[in-house]
Amino acid sequence: MAATADPARPLLTWYDDHTGERVELSGATCANWLAKTANLLVDGSGLAGPARAVVDAPPHWQTAVIMLGCWSAGLSVAPPGAVGPEVVFAAADRLSRYADTGAELFALALAPLAAPLRHVPPGATDFVVEVRAYGDHFAPPSPVRPGDPATPEHSHAELCRAAAARAAALGIAPGARVLVDLTAYPDPRDWLLAPLLVGASTVLCAHLDPARLADRTSTERAMMTLPPAR
């Protein structure tokens, strides 16, 4: 992942203008969350490739580290509602649809300061509580190969090529800092994978207040915005 070349550099900055939340993750912090998630899957749940994970959550910094952790552990990440998952990570208000799947269920509060859920749905585990117990470094039991499935439709190599194509189409330059309006770009290929693949860092904005865009672009030293500023 090109964007981890400087682990101290801000890699993913998260804003939610509804809650006033701001979270900044360096490359090292992202790597720690990724490793904890992968260790949770491999050591805690006994999963490895080609097991299938469903991630049913809106764009969020926790969604990002969960998806990356799944791929690091060799799991295929399927879209919401996909059949046959071995594990599901879902926002708490979406979890009930997976109650009869037989999958291991992890509930996401997606709350400020990574706060835990006040009430964990029956049959589920609170992700942010559980994942903290796992190690900050991950050594995969077997290497993830380019031809292994990353999604039900794409191998890791194919997904990387698709992300590179999106980065080119969106005009994301290597090393750029990109501010993303998540309402306009909810696809993780756009807000997560395309920037990472070219070594860009992101400022992810949920419920973006247009009145704050100019100041935020300046404060975060963003070189470009998605959609482009008018």
* pLDDT reading at 229 higher than 70: no
Contact 192, 146 (CB under 8 A): no
- Enter the tokens of residue 144: 């993830």
In total, the chain counts a number of residues equal to 230
| Peptide linkage before 50 cis (omega within 30 of 0) | yes
Q: For the segment 10-54, what is each residue's pLDDT rounded down to a tens digit?
A: 999 999 999 999 999 999 999 999 999 999 999 999 999 899 999
* Domains of the chain, first to last: 2-226 (3.40.50.12780)
Looking at residue 68, its amino acid is L
Q: For the segment 167-183, what is each residue's pLDDT rounded down to a tens digit?
A: 999 999 999 999 999 99
Binning pLDDT at 50, 70 and 90, where does residue 6 land? Answer: confident
Q: What are the φ/ψ torsions at residue 29 (nearest 5 degrees)? A: -65, -40
The separation between CA 148 and the C-alpha centre of its own chain, rounded to angstroms, equals: 19
CA distance 38 to 49: 12
- Enter the tokens of residue 136: 């900050």
Q: For the segment 60-102, what is each residue's pLDDT rounded down to a tens digit?
A: 999 999 999 999 999 999 999 999 999 999 999 999 999 999 9
- Enter the tokens of residue 210: 């247009």
Binning pLDDT at 50, 70 and 90, where does residue 1 land? Answer: very low
CA distance 73 to 142: 9
Percent of the chain with pLDDT over 90: 95
Give this prediction's pTM. 0.96
Q: For the segment 129-179, what is each residue's pLDDT rounded down to a tens digit?
A: 999 999 999 999 999 999 999 999 999 999 999 999 999 999 999 999 999
The more confidently predicted of residues 30 and 2 is 30
DSSP designation for 109: -
**pLDDT for residue 78:** 98
CA distance 141 to 27: 23
DSSP designation for 144: P
CA distance 21 to 51: 34
CA distance 220 to 22: 12
Neighbours of 20 (CB within 10 A): 8
Q: For the segment 100-116, what is each residue's pLDDT rounded down to a tens digit?
A: 999 999 999 999 999 99
Cα angle for residues 35, 222, 20 (degrees, 5° grid): 70
The residues near 41 (Cβ < 8 Å, ≥ 6 apart) are 47, 48, 53, 69, 70, 73, 75, 87
CA distance 55 to 79: 6
Give the helix/strand (H/E) hosting 87: strand 87-91
